[in-house]
């Protein structure tokens, strides 16, 4: 056997694509399944849920009434007579704060608005989580598709090496053509092995979003869904301005600031303290009832009111900024979506078919001796590049659609 043949055998034996078989697993997950897992296992969901429960506790606290205060004193005393003895004495008292109704009302309303803010934060994170899961899921699907394409190209290159080896041995081709075929095979093998790492990284990214819920070696099951739908940008922006969780959150934040300001103004009216007591002394028993009223003579909560006014102004400014940012985000996501659609249409309408046709012609010309191996290899690289670009365009369309859905708070 010639040196070239031995080199060919070594290349083919050490460059086998074991990756696909090593990664096979009985468990495959659809997009709907991983979305469900993310909702249950993503650690940030628990964080936002805890914030919501904390706000709910704040509402319960705002709805509660002040507790009464019980006072007891025990002692001994004696009359002023010379032969008097010490005897037991006691005093019992209870007091209850009678809170000003306006202050309690606005404290409760502010807490309700804060609870709504926490709820909108949770809904906005769920939108973000769905977008992250979709991007990661399609990232795994894309990387696996590329690995499959390169594995198929590797098998084709392997067959070409064998075919060229036979042509060299029969004298139909020069040894230089065999070297070119071997170099091309090694190049594809290197790209295929690099794609294996991309699959591993993509799977690790998806599993991280899912809180590490998936076992090693899992697979995903799905397709790149074609999206030809045209959305109206103005309609998306108008709809999002009315119902997006970010906007709803800031509106509730303004309501909470309004109620907090009203609460501070109402707090200028002092609360009443109702007191009742019974006292048992040596020579008498007495009952008393009374009211205590703090008199706001020197300070009338000017500082707290100024702080509340500042927080309200800040909340209003944040609402306006959220509206502008949301419009910007939707516009950017919409343009990315339209560009991804146009790129995919361009590939499907001509480039894919043209690349396949060019490769067929190059193979036929090479088989008939009308062109050399270099021309065939160039055609194969061009066709492979277009196929990879097509898979990339499908992936980018799915990512753009997920980002548009996230930016708009949902799609019609």
Share of the chain above pLDDT 70, in %: 93
The pTM for the full model equals 0.80
Q: Kindly report, residue by residue over 131-164, the tens digit of the pLDDT.
A: 999 999 999 999 999 999 999 888 888 888 888 7
Quickly tell me which residue has 């007591």 as its tokens: 277
Domain total of the chain: 1
User: Is residue 306's pLDDT more than 60?
Assistant: yes
pLDDT tens sequence across 74-94: 998 888 777 778 888 899 999
* Mean pLDDT calculated for residue range 32-43: 93
* Distances 9 to 19, 154, 161, 168, 182 between C-alpha atoms, Å: 20, 15, 10, 15, 10
Mean pLDDT for the stretch of residues 109-113: 95
For residue 9, pLDDT beyond 90 = no
pLDDT of residue 19: 40
Query: Please, what is the Cα angle at 97 between 91 and 99, to 5 degrees?
Result: 170
- pLDDT, mean of residues 225-254: 93
What does the alpha-carbon distance between residue 316 and residue 250 come to, in Å, rounded to a whole number? 8
- What is the predicted pLDDT for the residue at 26? 61
- Nearest Cα residue to 110 out of 264, 248, 216: 264
Pair 55, 252: CB distance under 8 Å: no
Domain of 11, CATH number, reads 1.20.1600.10
| For range 325-350, the mean pLDDT | 93
pLDDT at 361 over 50: yes
Are 127 and 406 within 8 A, CB to CB? yes
In terms of Cβ atoms closer than 10 Å to its own Cβ (0-12, 13-18, 19+), residue 134 is buried
137 lies in which domain range? 3-408
Q: How far apart are CA 380 and CA 180, in angstroms?
A: 13
Contact 34, 220 (CB under 8 A): yes
Nearest to 355 by CA among 379, 375, 328, 336: 379
Name the residue with higher pLDDT: 98 or 17: 98
């Amino acid at each position: 056997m010639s040196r070239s043949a031995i080199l060919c055998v070594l290349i083919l034996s050490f460059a086998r694509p074991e990756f696909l078989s090593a990664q096979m697993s009985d468990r495959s997950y659809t997009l709907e399944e991983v979305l469900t897992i993310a909702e249950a296992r993503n650690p940030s969901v628990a964080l936002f849920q805890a914030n919501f429960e904390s706000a709910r506790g704040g509402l319960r606290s705002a709805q509660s009434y002040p507790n009464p205060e019980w006072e007891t004193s025990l002692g001994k005393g004696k009359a002023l007579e010379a032969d008097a003895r010490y005897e037991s004495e006691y005093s019992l008292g209870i007091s209850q704060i009678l809170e000003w109704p306006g202050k309690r009302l606005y404290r409760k309303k502010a807490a309700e608005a804060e609870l709504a803010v926490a709820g909108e934060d949770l809904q906005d994170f769920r939108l973000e989580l769905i977008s992250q899961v979709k991007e990661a899921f399609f990232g795994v699907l894309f990387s696996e598709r590329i690995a499959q394409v390169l594995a198929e190209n590797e098998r084709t290159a392997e067959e070409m090496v064998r075919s060229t080896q036979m042509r060299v041995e029969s004298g139909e081709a020069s040894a230089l053509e065999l070297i070119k075929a071997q170099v091309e095979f090694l190049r594809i093998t290197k790209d295929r092995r690099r794609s294996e790492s991309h699959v591993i990284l993509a799977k690790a990214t998806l599993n991280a979003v899912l809180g590490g819920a998936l076992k090693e070696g899992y697979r995903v099951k799905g397709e790149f869904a074609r999206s030809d739908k045209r959305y109206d940008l103005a309609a998306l922006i108008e709809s999002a301005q009315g119902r997006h969780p970010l906007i709803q959150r800031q509106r509730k934040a303004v309501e909470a600031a309004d109620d907090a300001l009203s609460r501070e103004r109402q707090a200028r009216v002092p609360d009443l303290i109702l007191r009742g007591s019974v006292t048992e002394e040596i020579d008498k028993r007495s009952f008393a009832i009374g009211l205590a009223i703090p008199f706001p003579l020197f300070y009338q909560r000017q500082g707290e009111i100024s702080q509340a006014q500042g927080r309200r102004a800040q909340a209003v400014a944040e609402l306006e900024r959220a509206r502008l940012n949301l419009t910007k985000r939707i516009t950017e996501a919409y343009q990315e979506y339209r560009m991804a659609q146009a790129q995919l249409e361009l590939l499907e309408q001509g480039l894919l078919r043209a690349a396949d046709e060019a490769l067929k012609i190059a193979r036929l010309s090479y088989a008939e001796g009308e062109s050399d191996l270099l021309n065939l290899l160039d055609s194969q690289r061009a066709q492979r590049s277009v196929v990879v670009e097509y898979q990339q365009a499908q992936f980018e369309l799915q990512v753009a659609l997920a980002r548009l859905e996230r930016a708009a708070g949902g799609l019609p």
